[in-house]
A = this chain, B = another copy of it.
Amino acid sequence: MALKAIALNATLNRTDASASSTERMLGLVLEALEQYGVSHEIVRLADFNIMPGVTSDEGEGDDWPAIRKKLLAADILVLGTPIWLGQPSSVAKRALERMDAFLEEIDDKGRMVSYGKVGVVCVVGNEDGAHHVSAEIYQALNDVGFTIPASAVAYWVGEAMGSTNFRDLKTVPEAVAQNVVLAINAVHLASLLRKSAYPGVTSNA
């Protein structure tokens, strides 16, 4: 059965409000994944009501449970975020907080529901911040059970204090194009982990 990827777009803008630089980068990565037979879907988080909290269901009106379901059905999570003040967006942080619940959602061998899933990152900004954003997201995703393949980030930022948007670049920079092909690492790793799951540990209780 084909691998599935879910992309979460953590731009601050709703789909009806504006085009998204983050969406452009996600599109490049998903296109690369598709070449290896991976099916995919993008969820623009700002279109939904993701309530603040650290549980998997915050009750009436919470759109997270439906997104979580898609996430758990996927083999690869592509988390895309813009940079604001050199840091991930509040929308990205909101989604990660909701995954905090995975820490308690474990089977009898101590494996979280997210175990075996591979996490990669897309980051775009007018300027500076991609490395730090990937650091924070790697750590948060890893804490909640994801595995991070080699060279797991695709990013673009302009020169210091620049104001160009990635969505407005006429062509995709060559460095980004070479970066995006590394999606093959996610495919390889997700494929291995699907065939051979983390064994977990039997509780010593």
Contacts and interface: CB of A to CB of B under 8 A. Distances in A.
Interface of A: 12-13, 46, 52-54, 84-91, 93-94, 96-97, 100, 110, 112, 114-116, 127-132, 134-136, 138-140, 142-153, 155-162, 173, 175-176, 178-179, 181-182, 184-185, 188-189, 192-193, 196, 198-201
A105 B90 CA distance: 22
A115 B150 contact: yes
**Chief secondary structure at chain A's binding surface:** mixed
Contacts of A152: 142
B160 A97 contact: no
Contact of A179 (B97, B142, B161): B161
A148 B142 contact: yes
Nearest to A114: B150
Most chain B beta-carbon neighbours within 10 Å: one of A128, A130, A135: A128
A199 B184 contact: yes
A201 B175 contact: no
